[in-house]
A and B are shown apart, each in its own frame.
Chain A
Amino acid sequence: MSDTVINSTSNVVYIDLTNETSKLVQRPDMFDRYIGGTGVATQLLDEGFREDKDALDPEAPIVLSIGPFSGIYPCCTKAVAMFRSPLNGELGESYAGGRIATAMRFAGYDSIVITGKAKRPVYLSLHDGNITFKDATSIWGLSSTVDVGKILRDAEPHPGRRSIIRIGPAGEKGVKYANVNVDTYRHFGRLGLGAVFGSKNLKAIVLSGDEELQIADKKDYNKQYKQLYYKVVNTDLMEKYHDLGTTVNVNVLNEINALPTRNFQQTYFECAENISGENLGDNYLIRKLSCAGCPIGCIHIAMLKKLFSNSHDVEVSDIPYDYELVYALGTNLGLTEPEDVLELIDSCERQGVDIISMGVVLAWATEMSMKEKISTDETMGVTLKWGDLNNFLHAVDLITKSPNEFYSALAEGVAVASEKYGGQDFAMQLGRLEIPGYHTGLGNVVGLTTGVRHSHHDNAGYSADQKAFKSGLSDEEIIDQLIAEDDVRGVLNSLVICLFARKVYTPDAIVDALKPLGIEKSEEELDRIGTEIFMKKYELKQKFGFDLDNVKLPKRFFETVSTNGIIDKERVENALEIYKNKRGF
């Protein structure tokens, strides 16, 4: 037996930035009870909870976790980050792909818990069990998140196997929806992990490992891997992610009146075709990439070519695109040209911000500006109007720099900004998180309101609405579906699979795939654990001050036609009561 064989899959490493110390602890009981991933991370976050400490307190922990499937089975490529969100003050949970899950797996870390605050900017270098705290003062203040990766790539060992995660200017400056960039094209996007990194003076983490993992029943494992791999590659279960990618939804949602346009004033965008997945795929796509361990290749990269003189001088950039980005910076801001959407994506990528939040913030500010509720005094001369790229580019830059009260408010998110300046009726947030690009109906509104992190990935309300639209579901049936998804996703996110592969990882397939890893769990047991994880998250949300009864529902939801027609507010309130009753809240 080699000493490079990983002999535990419950390794938790605690890293203290204040004292520059670390400690490795094995927590087999916790991993057995909560599987891994989000189940374990919730527990670790709870253990680090301190009364009266806010999200940006040095003691507030950042937890990164993988699960038993990570790096082991196809499409199990995500790591979960859990933290207290500086954006809404409550449960922060975000997922990223790229190479991070594989890097954690072969470094032998199942969870990483980071607390404290470094005296000056640092980055963490984690290779093969060695943890070093390295000076990051010379890369603090760089204007682009992408460049940070380029510099660390040359400064650190193990090319090809490592994951480089880092913050940009927005994270350093404490924009409340700053993200963490993972391997250039993926992100811990939502709920402001970047600001938490920044508050700890943590610029980046470079992570790699070259260990090997013992499998309890290798022969059965090989068989399970093969079955899952061919289900991924040879069936149409994941084809849409491979072909056009998630932007296929631009036209799909437009056709069913679900595509938020100009700050949700409409759900149909007359120029959707121009910025659709089809047009981007046909005319701008230059490459597809995969996360390590996934044969799909859903990461779509477009080429943006810009002339900057009359002598055929061109600047070329490669820009990742996805549905939510095209919604947030495209349809919802009334941008009609693919080049404009790509340029705005690029600008947000360089700053390192959550693009959904940024798009919603800009859309609200634009409507405020067009309704003359704010003036160019507040915007410092920037005239925000639908479809005007240059002013949006200025605004993105100014939000990070926060030179005045108005831009500082925008950097706090749309809930805070609208509390200060008005326009709460059309500040499109739920649970104080800017909402994703769906206006499908009641399921979406209730799902985002009740979801553990107020994300469409929590319980897929948009999907329940589409079923209701096609075949009719009662409100109670919609609620039942949300609850079932809440719970099952607790399991999927603990294993941790990519949710794009959720049709591959059916309950029976999960039970079979766990067996060769030496984990015996029945479908019923997994169901129970899913519910337990959900409840545990709600307990933690309540500790953070969340109260489902206090969630404000912006009026705009009930004014703009959705896939299922105009949504009646009373119906939503009633559905929320049904939800609470069924959950025993």
Chain B
Amino acid sequence: MYNIMGEGIIPKRIKVANQARCIGCYSCMLACARTYYDTVSLKNSAIDIQTKGGIEEGFVSIVCHACIDPPCSRACPTGALTVRKGGGVVLHKDLCEGCSYCVDACLIGAIHMDAYGKAVVCKHCGVCASYCPRDVLELRKVGENGEEIMDIN
């Protein structure tokens, strides 16, 4: 339905493009959690909207930065996080044993564990961007090594 990777498809990644436009509506979080879980929640979202210094000071979006050499993948002892074409990782849920090493390895705090002991990490599918009313988030085309591909029309 969204940007699920397949052969011959140009990889994409989520980019926090216009953070200052964020109004803190959490539509992205609800969309992410709704898409990948059978429940409604904020907690199961792979993107996290937080305040920095309270609501008076605006918001930050914490989401996978699509590392080319992801430390979370290196930290995973079971091979549950493999390197994704275009940056970031692919989670193999059946292999995830809930050790949380990936959580510690991610400096920006983009991974957390769900209530079932599985890592919650961005798939770069773009459903969050499709529910962002202010274009804070964009799904961008990238090359295999994560370099951005400019659309020139």
Chain A residues in the interface with B (C-beta under 8 A): 2-5, 71-72, 74, 102, 106, 146, 149-150, 153, 159-161, 183-185, 210-215, 218, 221-222, 225, 229, 233, 287-297, 299, 318
Contacts and interface: CB of A to CB of B under 8 A. Distances in A.
Given A2-B116, A160-B49, A213 B23 contact: no
Contacts of A3: 115
B133 A149 contact: no
A184 B56 contact: yes
B143 interface: no
B55 A106 contact: no
Given A5-B39, A160-B51, 5 more contacts: A210-B42, A211-B43, A215-B38, A295-B25, A295-B131
Given A218-B38, A229-B27, A289-B23, A212 B44 contact: yes
A293 B131 CA distance: 11
22 contacts: A5-B115, A106-B43, A146-B56, A150-B54, A160-B49, A160-B50, A210-B41, A211-B43, A212-B33, A212-B40, A212-B44, A215-B40, A218-B38, A221-B34, A222-B34, A225-B34, A291-B25, A293-B27, A295-B131, A295-B133, A296-B25, A297-B133
B146 interface: no
Contacts of A296: 25, 133
A213 B35 CA distance: 14
B25 A213 contact: no
A153 B50 CA distance: 13
Q: Give chain B's interface residue range (CB within 8 Å of chain A).
A: 20 to 34
Contact of A292 (B24, B43, B44, B133): B24
B93 interface: no
Interface of B: 23-27, 30, 33-35, 37-44, 48-51, 54-56, 58, 115-116, 131, 133-134
A5 B38 CA distance: 11
Q: For A160, A213, A295, which residue has the most chain B Cβ atoms within 10 angstroms? A: A160
B25 A290 contact: yes
A221 B24 CA distance: 23
B25 A212 contact: no
B149 to A, nearest CB: 28
Contacts of A183: 55
A225 B39 CA distance: 13
Contact of A212 (B23, B43, B131): B43
Contacts of A160: 48-51
Contacts of B133: 233, 295-297
Contacts of A215: 38-40
B49 to A, nearest CB: 6
A289 B58 CA distance: 9
A297 B134 contact: yes
B54 A149 contact: yes
A77 to B, nearest CB: 9
A293 B40 contact: no
Nearest to A293: B26
Contacts of A149: 54
Nearest to B40: A213
Contacts of B115: 2-5, 212
B55 A211 contact: no
A243 B133 CA distance: 13
B54 A102 contact: no
Contact of A297 (B23, B40, B48, B49): B23
B48 A74 contact: no
B49 A212 contact: no
4 nearest A-B residue pairs (beta carbon): A212-B41, A290-B25, A297-B23, A2-B115
A461 B44 CA distance: 43
Given A2-B116, A293-B26, A185 B55 contact: yes
Given A153-B54, A160-B50, A318-B56, A297 B41 contact: no
A289 B23 CA distance: 4
Q: For A2, A71, A295, which residue has the most chain B Cβ atoms within 10 angstroms? A: A295
B25 A72 contact: no
B23 A290 contact: yes
A150 B34 CA distance: 32
Given A74-B27, A229-B131, A292-B24, A212 B58 contact: no
B40 A71 contact: yes
A290 B34 contact: no
B26 to A, nearest CB: 5
B134 A287 contact: no
A161 B134 contact: no
Nearest to B26: A292
Nearest to A233: B133
Q: For A149, A214, A289, which residue has the most chain B Cβ atoms within 10 angstroms? A: A289
A314 to B, nearest CB: 17
A212 B56 contact: no
A291 B116 CA distance: 29
B34 to A, nearest CB: 6
A363 B23 CA distance: 35
A159 B51 CA distance: 7
Contact of B50 (A159, A288, A295): A159
Nearest to B54: A153
A213 B30 CA distance: 12
Contact of B24 (A106, A159, A290): A290
